[in-house]
Amino acid sequence: EVQLQASGGGLVQAGGSLRLSCAASGFTFDDYAIGWFRQASGKEREEVSCLSSSDGSAYYADSVKGRFTISSDNAKNTVYLQMTSLKPEDTAVYFCEARGRTWFATTHEEYDYWGQGTQVTVSS
């Protein structure tokens, strides 16, 4: 059974940092691309950052470029999202998603699995 468990969210002041973790199980980690998506209240889910397992290439949405960093620890089947210089507009539920391809995609519809998500709230 594929499982993705996102954690590490919380309440932080603007300008602060958080590190999200995505623990994956039930599939061969090296065969899947992982993406971080977020969904703010009343809005559609949007891409944040994605990582290919084939070559380690990463994608960042313009809104987070230069502030967020995606990385993986294959030995732990875990993907991280380091978030710095957080802004109130980063407030959302963050989801990690897995795609049964080794190269990333940037739309939620192209991912096969996702977990419950973790809430990130940035106060001004």
DSSP secondary structure code for residue 108 in this structure: G
Strands (E), 26-112: 33-39, 46-51, 58-60, 68-73, 78-83, 92-99
Question: Rounded CA gap, 91 and 38, in Å?
Answer: 9
Rounded to whole angstroms, the Cα distance separating 2 from 112 reads 10
Tell me the pLDDT of the chain (124 aa) as tens digits: 899 999 999 999 999 999 999 999 998 878 999 999 999 999 999 999 999 998 999 999 999 999 999 999 999 999 999 999 999 999 999 999 999 999 999 999 999 999 999 999 999 9
Q: Which residue has the tokens 């957080």?
A: 86
Which pLDDT score, from 0 to 100, does residue 3 have? 94
Report the pLDDT value the prediction gives residue 29, as an integer from 0 to 100: 79
Rounded Cα distance between 56 and 103, Å, is 9
